[in-house]
A = this chain, B = another copy of it.
Amino acid sequence: MADKINGIDIRILKLLSKNARLTYKELAEILGTTRQRISRRMDRLERNGVIKKYTVIPDYDALGYVHVILGITVKPSVNIDEIIPTLVEDENIKIIQRAIGSHSLVIHIVGPKDMKELEKIISEVSRKIPGIDTLDITFVTETVKFEVL
């Protein structure tokens, strides 16, 4: 199958996960192949959605922000599909993950350090989710390790 993820794809992904700004040329040199091959594999990984995004991990604290994680469970009657579109539109919400286990929805908010303003944002977000059963609020104080693959 042409679309299958192979060894070179995994090696490209691992390198990009450490530095997403590596050029085709640099990747090709490290992996002992051609720029054309790297570019072709990356195009495919992007098209297939295996690579969802190239992004930057910032220090939110240095930028004056607070990073809050909401771990949510909803009552069994709630259809999460119906809630998602409203949450996606909300600019204060940066990450939305559906899940099973302790939480059925994980939401990341990046907000101001002012606790009164932050409280307003968190309660606005939670009001958009009808049928919340439990809500765990965690304030990230330091990201000690951040790797992807």
Binding site for B on A (CB under 8 A): 5, 10, 13, 16-21, 48-59, 62-63, 68-69, 71, 84, 87-88, 93-103, 106, 110, 136-149
Q: Which residues of B contact A49 (CB under 8 A)?
A: 59, 62
Are the C-beta atoms of B63 and A5 separated by less than 8 Å? yes
Min CB–CB distance A50 → chain B (angstroms): 5
Contact A21 to B54, CB < 8 A, known contacts A63-B5, A138-B102: yes
A68 vs B82: C-alpha distance when bound (angstroms): 24
Are the C-beta atoms of B56 and A54 separated by less than 8 Å? yes
A107 vs B47: C-alpha distance when bound (angstroms): 30
Are the C-beta atoms of B98 and A5 separated by less than 8 Å? no
Q: Which residues of B contact A142 (CB under 8 A)?
A: 97-98
